[in-house]
Structure 1
Amino acid sequence: MELKQWFEKGLTAEQYIDGMNVNKESMLSIYEGFTLSEEEKNELQPNKGKGLKAIVLTEDWCGDAKLNNPVLLKIAEEIDMEVRFVLRDSNLELMDQYLTNGTSRAIPIFVFLNKDGEEYGVWGPRASRLQELVTERRAALPDKEDPSFEEKQKALYKELGKAYETDSSLWHSVAGSIIETLVKK
Protein backbone atom coordinates (compact mmCIF):
# COMPACT_ATOMS: atom_id res chain seq x y z
CA MET A 1 0.00 0.00 0.00
CA GLU A 2 1.25 3.50 -0.78
CA LEU A 3 1.59 6.17 1.91
CA LYS A 4 -1.39 8.08 0.48
CA GLN A 5 -3.51 4.97 1.03
CA TRP A 6 -2.23 4.54 4.59
CA PHE A 7 -3.12 8.17 5.23
CA GLU A 8 -6.66 7.67 3.92
CA LYS A 9 -7.02 4.51 6.03
CA GLY A 10 -6.00 6.36 9.20
CA LEU A 11 -8.26 7.72 11.91
CA THR A 12 -8.88 11.43 12.29
CA ALA A 13 -7.71 12.97 15.56
CA GLU A 14 -11.29 12.99 16.81
CA GLN A 15 -11.79 9.30 15.96
CA TYR A 16 -8.48 8.35 17.58
CA ILE A 17 -9.16 10.31 20.77
CA ASP A 18 -12.74 9.01 21.00
CA GLY A 19 -11.39 5.45 20.86
CA MET A 20 -8.68 5.94 23.48
CA ASN A 21 -8.87 3.83 26.64
CA VAL A 22 -5.56 4.38 28.43
CA ASN A 23 -3.95 7.83 28.22
CA LYS A 24 -6.86 9.92 26.96
CA GLU A 25 -7.09 12.31 29.94
CA SER A 26 -3.32 12.84 30.09
CA MET A 27 -3.06 13.45 26.36
CA LEU A 28 -5.94 15.91 26.41
CA SER A 29 -4.44 17.68 29.41
CA ILE A 30 -1.17 18.19 27.51
CA TYR A 31 -3.07 19.27 24.40
CA GLU A 32 -5.08 21.84 26.38
CA GLY A 33 -2.02 23.07 28.28
CA PHE A 34 0.42 23.36 25.39
CA THR A 35 0.80 26.46 23.25
CA LEU A 36 3.47 26.97 20.62
CA SER A 37 5.82 29.85 21.38
CA GLU A 38 6.02 32.78 18.96
CA GLU A 39 9.48 31.57 17.93
CA GLU A 40 8.12 28.08 17.19
CA LYS A 41 5.26 29.57 15.18
CA ASN A 42 7.70 31.71 13.18
CA GLU A 43 9.90 28.68 12.44
CA LEU A 44 6.86 26.83 11.12
CA GLN A 45 5.68 29.58 8.76
CA PRO A 46 7.48 28.25 5.64
CA ASN A 47 5.36 25.08 5.96
CA LYS A 48 2.02 26.83 6.31
CA GLY A 49 -0.33 26.01 3.47
CA LYS A 50 2.10 23.59 1.75
CA GLY A 51 -0.44 20.78 1.87
CA LEU A 52 1.61 18.62 4.22
CA LYS A 53 0.01 15.59 5.83
CA ALA A 54 1.11 13.35 8.71
CA ILE A 55 0.60 9.68 9.42
CA VAL A 56 0.97 8.93 13.14
CA LEU A 57 1.88 5.34 14.00
CA THR A 58 0.73 5.05 17.59
CA GLU A 59 -1.19 3.23 20.33
CA ASP A 60 -3.03 4.90 23.18
CA TRP A 61 -1.18 2.96 25.90
CA CYS A 62 2.16 4.49 24.85
CA GLY A 63 3.59 7.06 27.26
CA ASP A 64 5.63 8.76 24.55
CA ALA A 65 2.52 9.04 22.37
CA LYS A 66 0.56 10.79 25.13
CA LEU A 67 3.25 13.50 25.07
CA ASN A 68 4.18 13.68 21.39
CA ASN A 69 0.78 13.35 19.73
CA PRO A 70 -0.83 16.45 21.28
CA VAL A 71 2.27 18.53 20.47
CA LEU A 72 2.04 17.35 16.86
CA LEU A 73 -1.65 18.27 16.75
CA LYS A 74 -0.83 21.84 17.82
CA ILE A 75 1.84 22.06 15.12
CA ALA A 76 -0.62 20.67 12.58
CA GLU A 77 -3.17 23.32 13.50
CA GLU A 78 -0.57 26.04 13.07
CA ILE A 79 0.39 24.99 9.52
CA ASP A 80 -2.94 23.52 8.33
CA MET A 81 -1.52 19.99 8.16
CA GLU A 82 -3.93 17.06 8.08
CA VAL A 83 -3.11 14.29 10.56
CA ARG A 84 -4.27 10.68 10.55
CA PHE A 85 -3.62 8.06 13.21
CA VAL A 86 -2.72 4.47 12.29
CA LEU A 87 -2.66 1.94 15.13
CA ARG A 88 0.68 0.17 15.22
CA ASP A 89 -0.42 -3.21 16.50
CA SER A 90 -2.95 -3.80 13.73
CA ASN A 91 -0.80 -2.27 10.97
CA LEU A 92 2.60 -3.94 11.30
CA GLU A 93 3.10 -3.84 7.52
CA LEU A 94 3.48 -0.06 7.76
CA MET A 95 5.18 -0.06 11.18
CA ASP A 96 7.89 -2.43 9.97
CA GLN A 97 8.91 0.13 7.35
CA TYR A 98 9.75 2.59 10.16
CA LEU A 99 11.58 0.54 12.79
CA THR A 100 13.73 2.44 15.28
CA ASN A 101 17.36 1.37 14.87
CA GLY A 102 16.14 -1.14 12.30
CA THR A 103 14.75 -3.47 14.97
CA SER A 104 12.30 -1.78 17.35
CA ARG A 105 8.62 -1.04 16.80
CA ALA A 106 8.95 2.02 19.04
CA ILE A 107 6.18 4.59 18.76
CA PRO A 108 4.98 7.12 17.99
CA ILE A 109 6.42 7.56 14.52
CA PHE A 110 5.32 10.55 12.46
CA VAL A 111 5.57 10.10 8.70
CA PHE A 112 5.21 13.46 6.98
CA LEU A 113 3.91 13.56 3.42
CA ASN A 114 4.16 16.35 0.87
CA LYS A 115 1.16 17.56 -1.14
CA ASP A 116 1.73 14.70 -3.62
CA GLY A 117 1.57 12.07 -0.88
CA GLU A 118 5.28 11.31 -0.98
CA GLU A 119 7.40 10.92 2.15
CA TYR A 120 8.70 14.32 3.21
CA GLY A 121 10.24 13.41 6.55
CA VAL A 122 10.05 10.96 9.47
CA TRP A 123 10.16 11.77 13.17
CA GLY A 124 10.06 9.68 16.32
CA PRO A 125 9.75 8.04 18.67
CA ARG A 126 11.32 10.68 20.96
CA ALA A 127 12.95 14.08 20.87
CA SER A 128 16.69 13.76 21.55
CA ARG A 129 16.39 15.59 24.90
CA LEU A 130 13.77 13.11 26.06
CA GLN A 131 15.80 10.16 24.81
CA GLU A 132 18.78 11.45 26.82
CA LEU A 133 16.56 11.81 29.89
CA VAL A 134 15.18 8.27 29.54
CA THR A 135 18.62 6.79 28.85
CA GLU A 136 20.10 8.58 31.87
CA ARG A 137 17.31 7.43 34.19
CA ARG A 138 17.43 3.84 32.91
CA ALA A 139 21.18 3.73 33.51
CA ALA A 140 20.51 4.38 37.20
CA LEU A 141 18.34 1.25 37.50
CA PRO A 142 19.81 -1.85 39.13
CA ASP A 143 20.71 -4.88 36.99
CA LYS A 144 17.76 -6.82 35.60
CA GLU A 145 18.65 -9.75 37.87
CA ASP A 146 18.32 -7.53 40.95
CA PRO A 147 15.11 -8.38 42.87
CA SER A 148 14.20 -4.68 43.04
CA PHE A 149 14.62 -4.06 39.29
CA GLU A 150 10.99 -4.49 38.26
CA GLU A 151 9.68 -2.30 41.08
CA LYS A 152 12.24 0.44 40.40
CA GLN A 153 11.58 0.31 36.64
CA LYS A 154 7.83 0.74 37.23
CA ALA A 155 8.55 3.70 39.53
CA LEU A 156 10.82 5.22 36.88
CA TYR A 157 8.14 4.96 34.18
CA LYS A 158 5.55 6.44 36.53
CA GLU A 159 7.91 9.34 37.32
CA LEU A 160 8.66 9.93 33.63
CA GLY A 161 4.96 9.77 32.79
CA LYS A 162 4.24 12.46 35.36
CA ALA A 163 7.03 14.65 33.97
CA TYR A 164 5.64 14.17 30.46
CA GLU A 165 2.26 15.41 31.71
CA THR A 166 3.46 18.43 33.67
CA ASP A 167 6.85 19.69 32.45
CA SER A 168 6.16 22.22 29.70
CA SER A 169 9.88 22.43 28.87
CA LEU A 170 9.64 18.81 27.69
CA TRP A 171 6.65 19.75 25.52
CA HIS A 172 8.72 22.48 23.86
CA SER A 173 11.65 20.08 23.38
CA VAL A 174 9.29 17.81 21.46
CA ALA A 175 7.92 20.75 19.44
CA GLY A 176 11.42 21.93 18.56
CA SER A 177 12.46 18.48 17.45
CA ILE A 178 9.39 18.00 15.24
CA ILE A 179 9.81 21.50 13.79
CA GLU A 180 13.42 20.67 12.97
CA THR A 181 12.22 17.70 10.90
CA LEU A 182 9.57 19.77 9.14
CA VAL A 183 11.72 22.79 8.24
CA LYS A 184 14.89 20.99 7.16
CA LYS A 185 13.45 20.46 3.69
Structure 2
Amino acid sequence: MSLNQWFEKGISANDYINAMEKNKEGLLHIKQSFQLPNDEAFFENMKDKNIRAIVLTEDWCGDAMLNIPILLNFAEKIDMEVRMLLRDQNLELMDQYLTNGTARSIPIFIFINEEGEEVAKWGPRASEVQRFVDETRSSLPPKDAADYQEKANELYAGMQKEFQQNVNFWSFVYQSIKSALQKAYQ
Protein backbone atom coordinates (compact mmCIF):
# COMPACT_ATOMS: atom_id res chain seq x y z
CA MET A 1 0.00 0.00 0.00
CA SER A 2 1.05 3.57 -0.58
CA LEU A 3 1.48 5.98 2.31
CA ASN A 4 -1.66 7.78 1.12
CA GLN A 5 -3.55 4.51 1.45
CA TRP A 6 -2.13 3.93 4.94
CA PHE A 7 -3.15 7.47 5.86
CA GLU A 8 -6.70 6.86 4.64
CA LYS A 9 -6.82 3.61 6.62
CA GLY A 10 -5.93 5.42 9.85
CA ILE A 11 -8.40 6.75 12.39
CA SER A 12 -8.60 10.31 13.65
CA ALA A 13 -6.70 11.29 16.78
CA ASN A 14 -9.99 11.96 18.56
CA ASP A 15 -11.31 8.48 17.73
CA TYR A 16 -8.04 6.96 18.94
CA ILE A 17 -8.12 8.89 22.22
CA ASN A 18 -11.79 8.11 22.81
CA ALA A 19 -11.09 4.39 22.35
CA MET A 20 -8.04 4.35 24.64
CA GLU A 21 -8.18 1.89 27.52
CA LYS A 22 -4.72 2.62 28.94
CA ASN A 23 -2.74 5.83 29.42
CA LYS A 24 -5.63 8.05 28.31
CA GLU A 25 -5.47 10.17 31.46
CA GLY A 26 -1.71 10.69 31.09
CA LEU A 27 -1.98 11.57 27.40
CA LEU A 28 -4.76 14.07 28.05
CA HIS A 29 -2.83 15.59 30.97
CA ILE A 30 0.19 16.23 28.74
CA LYS A 31 -1.95 17.50 25.86
CA GLN A 32 -3.74 19.98 28.12
CA SER A 33 -0.58 21.03 29.99
CA PHE A 34 2.00 21.34 27.20
CA GLN A 35 2.35 24.83 25.78
CA LEU A 36 4.01 25.17 22.40
CA PRO A 37 6.86 27.67 22.40
CA ASN A 38 6.62 30.94 20.49
CA ASP A 39 7.82 29.52 17.19
CA GLU A 40 5.64 31.45 14.75
CA ALA A 41 8.08 31.46 11.81
CA PHE A 42 8.43 27.68 12.03
CA PHE A 43 4.66 27.22 12.35
CA GLU A 44 3.97 29.40 9.31
CA ASN A 45 6.60 27.55 7.29
CA MET A 46 5.06 24.20 8.21
CA LYS A 47 1.52 25.41 7.43
CA ASP A 48 2.68 26.19 3.89
CA LYS A 49 3.94 22.61 3.44
CA ASN A 50 0.48 21.02 3.84
CA ILE A 51 1.95 17.92 5.44
CA ARG A 52 0.01 15.16 7.16
CA ALA A 53 1.10 12.60 9.73
CA ILE A 54 0.62 8.86 10.12
CA VAL A 55 1.18 7.67 13.70
CA LEU A 56 1.99 4.05 14.51
CA THR A 57 1.00 3.53 18.13
CA GLU A 58 -0.68 1.44 20.84
CA ASP A 59 -2.45 2.86 23.88
CA TRP A 60 -0.42 0.76 26.36
CA CYS A 61 2.82 2.44 25.27
CA GLY A 62 4.25 5.01 27.68
CA ASP A 63 6.28 6.63 24.91
CA ALA A 64 3.10 7.13 22.90
CA MET A 65 1.47 8.69 25.96
CA LEU A 66 4.36 11.18 26.12
CA ASN A 67 4.91 11.94 22.43
CA ILE A 68 1.47 11.91 20.82
CA PRO A 69 0.03 14.88 22.75
CA ILE A 70 3.06 16.99 21.79
CA LEU A 71 2.48 16.08 18.13
CA LEU A 72 -1.25 16.78 18.40
CA ASN A 73 -0.72 20.25 19.87
CA PHE A 74 1.71 21.00 17.04
CA ALA A 75 -0.72 19.55 14.48
CA GLU A 76 -3.52 21.79 15.74
CA LYS A 77 -1.26 24.83 15.48
CA ILE A 78 -0.36 24.18 11.83
CA ASP A 79 -3.67 22.59 10.72
CA MET A 80 -2.01 19.23 10.04
CA GLU A 81 -4.23 16.19 9.82
CA VAL A 82 -3.05 13.22 11.89
CA ARG A 83 -4.20 9.63 11.48
CA MET A 84 -3.51 6.83 13.91
CA LEU A 85 -2.73 3.20 13.09
CA LEU A 86 -2.40 0.54 15.75
CA ARG A 87 1.01 -1.07 15.42
CA ASP A 88 -0.05 -4.65 16.06
CA GLN A 89 -2.78 -4.47 13.41
CA ASN A 90 -0.51 -2.85 10.82
CA LEU A 91 2.75 -4.79 10.96
CA GLU A 92 3.28 -4.49 7.20
CA LEU A 93 3.79 -0.75 7.63
CA MET A 94 5.46 -1.05 11.05
CA ASP A 95 8.10 -3.38 9.66
CA GLN A 96 9.15 -0.65 7.23
CA TYR A 97 9.97 1.61 10.21
CA LEU A 98 11.86 -0.63 12.61
CA THR A 99 14.09 1.03 15.19
CA ASN A 100 17.71 -0.02 14.66
CA GLY A 101 16.45 -2.36 11.93
CA THR A 102 15.00 -4.82 14.45
CA ALA A 103 12.60 -3.31 17.01
CA ARG A 104 8.94 -2.47 16.52
CA SER A 105 9.34 0.52 18.82
CA ILE A 106 6.54 3.06 18.91
CA PRO A 107 5.33 5.65 18.39
CA ILE A 108 6.54 6.34 14.89
CA PHE A 109 5.43 9.54 13.17
CA ILE A 110 5.54 9.43 9.37
CA PHE A 111 5.13 12.88 7.82
CA ILE A 112 3.87 12.88 4.23
CA ASN A 113 3.27 15.58 1.65
CA GLU A 114 0.18 16.11 -0.49
CA GLU A 115 1.39 13.50 -2.98
CA GLY A 116 1.74 10.94 -0.20
CA GLU A 117 5.53 10.92 -0.23
CA GLU A 118 7.41 10.61 3.04
CA VAL A 119 9.13 13.88 3.91
CA ALA A 120 10.24 13.00 7.45
CA LYS A 121 10.06 10.25 10.06
CA TRP A 122 10.28 10.65 13.80
CA GLY A 123 10.28 8.29 16.75
CA PRO A 124 10.16 6.56 19.03
CA ARG A 125 11.92 8.98 21.41
CA ALA A 126 13.79 12.24 21.66
CA SER A 127 17.49 11.56 22.33
CA GLU A 128 17.34 13.11 25.82
CA VAL A 129 14.40 10.87 26.73
CA GLN A 130 16.27 7.88 25.31
CA ARG A 131 19.21 8.62 27.62
CA PHE A 132 16.84 8.75 30.61
CA VAL A 133 15.26 5.43 29.60
CA ASP A 134 18.65 3.77 29.06
CA GLU A 135 19.96 5.01 32.43
CA THR A 136 16.77 3.97 34.23
CA ARG A 137 16.73 0.51 32.65
CA SER A 138 20.36 -0.05 33.60
CA SER A 139 19.25 -0.46 37.21
CA LEU A 140 17.16 -3.54 36.40
CA PRO A 141 18.38 -6.94 37.56
CA PRO A 142 19.17 -9.57 34.90
CA LYS A 143 16.10 -10.87 33.05
CA ASP A 144 16.52 -14.31 34.60
CA ALA A 145 16.50 -12.89 38.17
CA ALA A 146 13.57 -13.96 40.34
CA ASP A 147 12.54 -10.37 41.00
CA TYR A 148 13.05 -9.08 37.44
CA GLN A 149 9.36 -8.75 36.52
CA GLU A 150 8.47 -7.03 39.78
CA LYS A 151 11.36 -4.57 39.40
CA ALA A 152 10.54 -4.00 35.72
CA ASN A 153 6.90 -3.22 36.54
CA GLU A 154 7.99 -0.73 39.22
CA LEU A 155 10.51 0.85 36.87
CA TYR A 156 8.01 1.30 34.01
CA ALA A 157 5.39 2.75 36.35
CA GLY A 158 7.98 5.25 37.57
CA MET A 159 8.98 6.12 34.01
CA GLN A 160 5.37 6.78 33.03
CA LYS A 161 4.95 9.07 36.02
CA GLU A 162 8.14 10.90 35.01
CA PHE A 163 6.83 11.25 31.42
CA GLN A 164 3.66 12.87 32.78
CA GLN A 165 5.44 15.28 35.12
CA ASN A 166 8.76 16.22 33.53
CA VAL A 167 8.01 19.28 31.42
CA ASN A 168 11.60 19.24 30.14
CA PHE A 169 10.83 15.93 28.43
CA TRP A 170 7.88 17.58 26.68
CA SER A 171 10.18 20.30 25.34
CA PHE A 172 12.77 17.74 24.24
CA VAL A 173 10.09 15.89 22.27
CA TYR A 174 8.86 19.06 20.60
CA GLN A 175 12.38 20.19 19.70
CA SER A 176 13.21 16.75 18.31
CA ILE A 177 10.10 16.69 16.10
CA LYS A 178 10.84 20.25 14.98
CA SER A 179 14.41 19.28 14.11
CA ALA A 180 13.26 16.31 12.00
CA LEU A 181 10.89 18.54 10.03
CA GLN A 182 13.45 21.30 9.59
CA LYS A 183 15.96 18.80 8.19
CA ALA A 184 13.33 17.64 5.71
CA TYR A 185 12.91 21.15 4.35
CA GLN A 186 16.47 22.49 4.34
TM-score (ref. length: structure 1): 0.95
For 1:166 and 1:37, locate their aligned partners in 2 and report how far apart those are by CA, in whole Å. 18
Indicate the residue corresponding to 2:147 in structure 1. Answer: 148
Indicate the residue corresponding to 1:67 in structure 2. Answer: 66
Q: Which amino acid aligns with 1:26?
A: G
Indicate the residue corresponding to 1:11 in structure 2. Answer: 11
Moved over 4 A (4+): none
Q: Which amino acid aligns with 1:134?
A: V
For 2:86 and 2:170, locate their aligned partners in 1 and report how far apart those are by CA, in whole Å. 23
Alignment of 1:18-167 (within 5 A): 18-38=18-38, 40-167=39-166
Q: Following TM superposition, by how much is the alpha carbon of 1:42 offset from its aligned partner in structure 2, in angstroms?
A: 3.9
For 1:103 and 1:143, locate their aligned partners in 2 and report how far apart those are by CA, in whole Å. 21
Q: Following TM superposition, by how much is the alpha carbon of 1:146 offset from its aligned partner in structure 2, in angstroms?
A: 2.5
Count of residues in Structure 1 that have an aligned counterpart in Structure 2? 184
SS of 1:49's equivalent in the other structure is helix
Q: Which amino acid aligns with 2:165?
A: T
Indicate the residue corresponding to 2:178 in structure 1. Answer: 179
Q: Following TM superposition, by how much is the alpha carbon of 1:41 offset from its aligned partner in structure 2, in angstroms?
A: 4.4
Q: Following TM superposition, by how much is the alpha carbon of 1:145 offset from its aligned partner in structure 2, in angstroms?
A: 2.6
Q: Which amino acid aligns with 2:123?
A: G
SS of 1:48's equivalent in the other structure is helix
Q: Which amino acid aligns with 1:153?
A: A
SS of 2:32's equivalent in the other structure is helix
For 2:60 and 2:143, locate their aligned partners in 1 and report how far apart those are by CA, in whole Å. 23
For 2:40 and 2:63, locate their aligned partners in 1 and report how far apart those are by CA, in whole Å. 23
> What are the Cα deviations for residues 61-83 of structure 1, in whole angstroms up to 9, with x where unaligned?
11100110000001111211110
> What are the Cα deviations for residues 54-101 of structure 1, in whole angstroms up to 9, with x where unaligned?
000001111100110000001111211110001111111111111111
Confirm or deny: 8 A CA contact 1:3 1:119 kept in the other structure.
Answer: yes
Q: Which amino acid aligns with 1:115?
A: E
TM-score (ref. length: structure 2): 0.95
Q: Which amino acid aligns with 1:116?
A: E
The unaligned stretches of length 5 or more in structure 2 are none
Q: Which amino acid aligns with 2:150?
A: E
SS of 1:112's equivalent in the other structure is strand
Q: Which amino acid aligns with 2:83?
A: R
Confirm or deny: 8 A CA contact 1:44 1:179 kept in the other structure.
Answer: no
Q: Which amino acid aligns with 1:144?
A: K
For 2:121 and 2:152, locate their aligned partners in 1 and report how far apart those are by CA, in whole Å. 29
